[in-house]
Amino acid sequence: MSLIAKFERYSLRFGDALALRDINVEFEARKISAIVGRSGSGKTALLRSINRLNDEFASAKSEGVVFASIDDCLVDNRSVDLRRLRTNFAMLFQTPELFDMSIFDNLSVVLREVKGLSKRETAEAIEETLVMVGLFDEVKDRLKSNALELSGGQRQRLCLARSLALKPACLLLDEPTASLDIRSTALIESLLERLELSIVMVSHSLDQALRLADRLYLCDRGALREISADNATDLARQISA
């Protein structure tokens, strides 16, 4: 079994508050692993531990080890350059985070500064990724328009295109459809199913997790355990309790 990330005896605190406790889990490569749980249960903190975004908080203190797959090799994520780690483990947030610039430049700034592509390579990669997320036909005639003029669903697909343009080993998704309408949610879900990428996602919706996940996990008061889809009724009761 090939792994994309692995936690061993991992605990995380923010000051005196325990966010995660004794996490031991293996996330499989080229699978969708979905994490569900009540608000404040530690889901996002766990996701951000993979690409070390929790390091941005001075109060964060961790124990144990998180391994990340870099060039198909599991390594301690603290031994990896941050830019390389976050390029390989690209993250998509609940609210689309776009730059106040054109649709084209929202992608080109990442491709040229992070990937170092030429102008020609950048243009080709932009078209490729916009096609991949089903957005090219919708925006091809207004690539120079401000990205903030897009609808919520289009913005999130543009953010997804920006992540995919990095050609990451894994996508980390933090409730990527929580702020979208039903149609936009269905579009994003369909895209995720077709990507054939390693995905670790936090979902606000148990139904969504059941639709998409190859492996399903419950985060409860900082602890994590795998759950069978057959136990969905019990799981729903735990989440709503």
Nearest alpha-carbon partner for 67 in 139, 114, 9:
9
pTM here is: 0.92
Residue with tokens 């996330």: 27
Nearest alpha-carbon partner for 23 in 234, 239, 223, 230:
223
Per-residue pLDDT for 83 more than 80?
yes
- What local confidence, expressed as pLDDT, does residue 184 receive? 86
Domain 3-240 sits in CATH 3.40.50.300: yes
Read off the pLDDT of each residue in 181-201 and give the average, rounded to a whole number.
Answer: 91
Other beta carbons less than 10 A from residue 214's beta carbon = 11
| Contact yes or no for 109/169 (Cβ under 8 A) | no
| Contact yes or no for 33/201 (Cβ under 8 A) | yes
pLDDT above 90 coverage of the chain, percent:
79
The whole-angstrom separation of Cα 95 and Cα 11 is 27
Q: How confident is the model at residue 157 (pLDDT cuts 50, 70, 90)?
A: very high
Q: Strand, helix or coil at 77?
A: helix
Q: How confident is the model at residue 162 (pLDDT cuts 50, 70, 90)?
A: very high
Ordered by start, the domain boundaries in the chain are 3-240
Read off the pLDDT of each residue in 21-31 and give the average, rounded to a whole number.
Answer: 97
Q: How confident is the model at residue 1 (pLDDT cuts 50, 70, 90)?
A: confident
